[in-house]
Amino acid sequence: MADWYHPAQLAATAVQVLISTVLGRHADRRILEALAAGPGGVHDYSSGETFTFDYLADTGDGWDSTYTLAYHLAQPHLELSQGGGIRSLPRGQVLILGGDEVYPVADRAQYERRLVAPFETAMALSPDEAGAPHVFAIPGNHDWYDSLVAFSRLFVGKSWMAAWRSLQTRSYFALKLPRGWWLMGVDVQLDSDLDIPQLEYFKAVARQIPEGDRIILCLPEPHWIYQQERDTGHWDRAPWERPQSPSEGGRPLRSNLDFLEQRLFKNQVAVMLAGDLHHYRRHAHADGRQKIVAGGGGAFMHATHPWSGTPLADGSELKRVWPAASESRSLAWGNLKFPLLHWPLGLLIGLAYLLINWTLQVDLSTFGLRDAGSALGTALRQALLRPGGAFLILGLLGAFVLFASPESRRFRWIAGMAHGLGHLTLCFLLGWGATGLTIVGWGLPFLGAPQMLLGGSLVFLGGALFGTLLFGLYLALSLNLFGRHWNEASSGLAIPDWKHFLRLQIGADGGLTIFPIGFRRVPRRWKAGAANPAGPRLEPDDPDFPGPELIEAPIQVPGRRQP
């Protein structure tokens, strides 16, 4: 799994995010694609009596997790236990990739290594090229970090991804499916923005959809979840971050995605699918509409317990989360292993402690344990009297405030200050202990080379261990007690398990059945497969691998409604 806290990775990601944020607003690649491709059409799969397709989102992080999904998606049939028997599901004729196809940042090499390679290992060639499965992909924010260059090279322009053939000509698409079903893949770029050519494309598609037909809307992020957090006050952001634009009829249109759902497609959307959150979460409306988060395609597992369980604004109720909140909460305490999980970050934290200690050198060897208050006061007074001391302390506190979860302004200030003061206090204790040991215990003169070298080494090692532990403790408490830092605490754990994808079938009766297929634990060991050029070249070889399971009973969605 990607080490999200490796200092080199943090620096590379920060640069990519900065560049994409600036350039993404001024150079929209979707417009260039629309000009190059010309008028966009609908991909027609409506001729069959039935249709099977797969949905997978948030792939391309770790090998074991991504290959587990690719391996099972490539199998001609998937055998699942259901109701005391075995249910056999054929491979999807189409694979929908729902966003964030690669982590941490997109470029050609990362796509090849983290996405294409696992799928080529699972099925490099289709035994029958004419009957090869197809793939359609929408980009997520991580795909946009290189302005969609690598994404377009792989998916746009009728190319191949392993044995899956890509037919899309833009970063968004529409599929006409059998029995009055349609599937729309939407690209909302980095700022949740729909460009004009995309709006015109979907307007043209909407004019082709008969009244009563049903739509599956695939989005790169579950805006219904994020909007609920804002509506319930869990995300107490600034007013300009909570759009409340009025619309006709008094019903607010909070985003242009609501415009697609409510006005353009005239409430014909029966199923909404999204990734971005790396776990399974399903809301269902009384009339059968489904809103499903299925971001378990290979990226680290996101915690499920910080999110609200109350009904959505439209009345949809929470039906299932996976893993369960209790399991998620237990896993979150794994952040206490931060020094072991992220020792390169520990070295950086130890170095920061060392630089602070050397910059604010104060002789505290005359103070005993009973004089802790006087020692702290002396150290603080000396630090503030030195040039740059006040700036250094305030700068560090400000950095921790900026790091704190931005979803709540109150939490950001209180928790950020507490976290920063905790590190400054720990740095003081380590420096105090190091000076006492080297001067009193070993008799070394203050600020002599041996004293600075040995004392600095103690501060560095203590900061690397206890400073990193304090960081992990902050994330664990923030997540489990306050529901904050769900992304930072989850990415730090880099859990490869609890992966899933959706297999969807349109039956002869016109109904849609959704099979949520989960992998509670992914294999850690593999063995060579049979000598078959089509693959798979690796087979699971882990006795602790339980195999696929149904996360919940298959979900039934009624078909075409009569006008």
86-122: pLDDT as tens digits: 889 999 999 999 988 988 888 888 899 999 999 999 9
Question: How are beta strands 538-540 and 290-294 bridged, if at all?
Answer: unpaired
pLDDT digits (tens, 9 = 90+) for 46-102: 998 899 999 999 998 899 999 999 999 999 999 998 777 888 999 999 999 998 898
The more confidently predicted of residues 460 and 31 is 460
Instruction: Give the rounded percent of residues in the chain with a pLDDT score beyond 90.
Output: 50
pLDDT of residue 545: 94
Q: Distance between CA atoms of 398 and 85, rounded to whole angstroms?
A: 59
Instruction: Indicate whether 165 belongs to any domain.
Output: yes
Give the count of beta carbons closer than 10 Å to the beta carbon of residue 10.
16
pLDDT digits (tens, 9 = 90+) for 465-485: 999 999 999 999 999 999 999
Q: Clarify whether residues 221 and 317 are in a common domain.
A: yes
Q: Distance between CA atoms of 171 and 190, rounded to whole angstroms?
A: 13
Q: Clarify whether residues 276 and 373 are in a common domain.
A: no
Q: Clarify whether residues 293 and 258 are in a common domain.
A: yes
Confidence class of residue 524 from pLDDT cuts 50, 70 and 90? Answer: very high
φ, ψ of residue 86 in degrees (nearest 5): -115, 130
Closest among 201, 147, 156, 187 to 36, alpha carbons compared: 156
Q: What is the 3-state secondary structure (H, E, C) of 442-488?
A: CCCCCCCHHHHHHHHHHHHHHHHHHHHHHHHHHHHHHHHHHCCCHHH
Peptide bond into 252 cis (omega under 30): no
Q: Clarify whether residues 423 and 520 are in a common domain.
A: no
Q: Clarify whether residues 178 and 275 are in a common domain.
A: yes
Q: Clarify whether residues 475 and 508 are in a common domain.
A: no
pLDDT digits (tens, 9 = 90+) for 192-226: 567 788 888 999 999 999 988 999 999 999 988 98
Q: Clarify whether residues 314 and 359 are in a common domain.
A: no
83: left (phi over 0), alpha (psi -120 to 50) or beta: left
Sheet containing 269-274: order of strands: 43-44, 173-177, 181-185, 214-219, 269-274, 290-294, 280-284, 317-322
Confidence class of residue 241 from pLDDT cuts 50, 70 and 90? Answer: very low
Query: What predicted TM-score, i.e. pTM, was given to this entire model?
Result: 0.89
Q: Last residue of a domain, which of 439, 457, 490?
A: 490
Instruction: Indicate whether 101 belongs to any domain.
Output: yes
Instruction: Indicate whether 3 belongs to any domain.
Output: no
pLDDT digits (tens, 9 = 90+) for 430-451: 988 888 888 878 888 887 888 7
Residue 36 pLDDT > 90: no
Instruction: Indicate whether 563 belongs to any domain.
Output: no
Record the tokens describing residue 262, joined without a space: 């409510």
The DSSP letter of residue 388 is T
Mean pLDDT of the chain: 86
Q: Clarify whether residues 440 and 513 are in a common domain.
A: no
Q: Last residue of a domain, which of 490, 519, 536?
A: 490
Q: Last residue of a domain, which of 490, 524, 542?
A: 490
Residue 329 pLDDT > 50: yes
Instruction: Indicate whether 88 belongs to any domain.
Output: yes
Q: Clarify whether residues 524 and 553 are in a common domain.
A: yes
pLDDT average, residue stretch 296-304: 94
3-class state of residue 428 by DSSP: helix
Start-to-end C-alpha separation, the chain: 50
| Cα dihedral across residues 401, 404, 409, 411: positive or negative | negative
pLDDT digits (tens, 9 = 90+) for 120-169: 999 988 767 778 899 999 998 888 888 788 898 889 877 888 899 999 98
Q: Clarify whether residues 407 and 485 are in a common domain.
A: yes
Q: Distance between CA atoms of 316 and 271, rounded to whole angstroms?
A: 12
The CATH number given to whatever domain includes residue 194 is 3.60.21.10
Q: Clarify whether residues 256 and 318 are in a common domain.
A: yes
Q: Clarify whether residues 121 and 265 are in a common domain.
A: yes
Residue 254 pLDDT > 60: no
pLDDT average, residue stretch 236-248: 45
Note the Cα 88 to chain centre separation in Å: 31
Total domains, the chain: 2
Domain that holds residue 200: 10-323+501-557
Instruction: Indicate whether 2 belongs to any domain.
Output: no
Question: How are beta strands 164-166 and 555-557 bridged, if at all?
Answer: unpaired
Instruction: Indicate whether 149 belongs to any domain.
Output: yes
